[in-house]
Structure 1
Amino acid sequence: MISDKTIFKISKLFRLQWEPAQNAHVLLYPEGMVKLNDSAGEIMSRIDGEKNLNQIIGDIESHFKTEGLRDDVVSFIEIALNQGWIKSEVE
Structure 2
Amino acid sequence: MSTISDNQDNASISTSDVYAVARHYRFQWEEAQQCYVLLFPEGMIKLNGGAGEVIRRVDGQRSVTDIVADVQSAFPDVKDIQADVIAMLELAVEKAWLEKRS
Unpaired runs of 5+ residues, structure 1, are: none
* Larger RCO: 1 or 2 (CA < 8 Å, sep 6+): 1
Residue-pair matches, total: 90
Match of 1:11 among 5, 19, 22: 22
Question: Aligned residue for 1:78?
Answer: 90
CA RMSD of aligned residues (A): 1.1
Q: Distance in 2 between matches of 1:26 and 1:89?
A: 21
Which amino acid is 2:97 matched to? W
Q: Structure 2 length normalisation: TM-score?
A: 0.83
State the secondary structure of the residue aligned to 1:6: coil
CA offsets, 1:12-46, max 9 Å, x none?
A: 00000000110000000000000000000000000
Question: Aligned residue for 2:41?
Answer: 30
Identity %: 37
> Offset of 1:71 from its aligned partner?
1.0
